[in-house]
Structure 1
Amino acid sequence: MLLPDGQDAFIAIGVLLSLAHFFSHAVSRKLEKMHFRLLSFSAGVFVTFLFLDSIPRVSALAYGPALALLGFACYHVMEKFVYQHRHPSELRRQIGRVHAAGYFLGGFLEGLLVMLVFKVGSQSPLILIPLFIHALASTFSLSHLSERENYSLAYRALLSAAPLLGVLAATQFGAASLASKAVFSFIIGAILYVSFRDAIPQGKAGRPADFVLGAVVMYLLLST
């Protein structure tokens, strides 16, 4: 049964994103040496798309910038609350759950974004490029979490299903509706925070050249 507004196509994309999250751990060991290079390239692609496509769309929406700022701030405050209101010993015991929750939330936001970016007026499928590259890059986190916490297959499947669940949640918003625009703006702020915090390697890690390469590739794709 087809969903209204052709939403079945977006659900298929959500399924593909979730499968990419689930099965990409199989190649994570082979790409382990390229971990930070892939993260840097992914960050360049993702950040460029946000600044050149998504953020301008947010700026054109009523209250868009304010809602994006709210999304950025809420994600930051929520994260700090979790880390600062746990005793260090308790946090060490629960760090796997905290990271798993963050991984799930990030994937859920990706799923929301992949549909809402079209509902607010974009016709470009280029959003899929940074999302799939980010799914591959983030698999290192899931792989390491699975090994350290000894996650079951069912638990990894649940974490990987986050993008699909995000897409399904986004089907509840009407095309170009006030709600879809508001949630889109909020999510862009949250995704921007996640990109700055997780996607961009910190300190000496990472390769600036790969970040620049990702940014240039995304810029050229958006310019054509």
Structure 2
Amino acid sequence: MKSQGIAVFELNNIEILYKAQFETPILDIALPQIQVDLLKLIFNEFNLKFKDIVINNQSISTNLLYFKKYYSSSISFFEALLGVDEIQTNYSNPEDSIRAWQPTLALLDIINKVTKISFANQWLNVNIHCRPEIIKYNSFIDNINKFKIENELVMTKGATFSIKQPPWDSGFINITFDQSIIIPDGLFIFIQAYFGNNIQQYKNLFSDILKFLHEFIEPNFKIYIKYVGR
């Protein structure tokens, strides 16, 4: 990965927003018995204590539950916010690609046990913030412009464009490159994937996005995204 022109970044934060419809309204999680079952599963999976969880029973039309889990490394943590029809997670300084995605999958497995996901209108938004290691963001922009010219792309809103042939049967992908607002000279990548109704599972959605990141974005834009543990 030391080839000339390769921009090396270290993944600092990965934020995931999964949005779908639920066969049993997710608002039912606010009901006492379902909430107890949910908390038991979350406590066991993430080894949490009661002080780690914040429950919102006052305004259940917005956010229902929040928790934060610290890992052995003081710089690594996972936090999750459960909403009415969406799951938001954030992993700071994941050690590898598996750790970057697995806690979110584990949380979705738990949600699917207490309120079934119907897989209608699935959206997956991924925000990635990276630290620069070799080439800073301003230099990286040159690679974006070159790719745009070579592929005759018309980008809107700066460095935003759509991929009409995603690695699944339906839907589309929007990609945005920008300068990170939380990391000096850092790179921000926003991936918005719409899966439509044809994808009847969520297990592979994250690995599909990860594959897209490594097999399409990295080689085409001459970047390499490494993890803290590498």
TM-score (norm 2): 0.29
Rg larger for: 2
Instruction: From the two aligned structures, give the one with the greater helix fraction.
Output: 1
TM-score (norm 1): 0.29
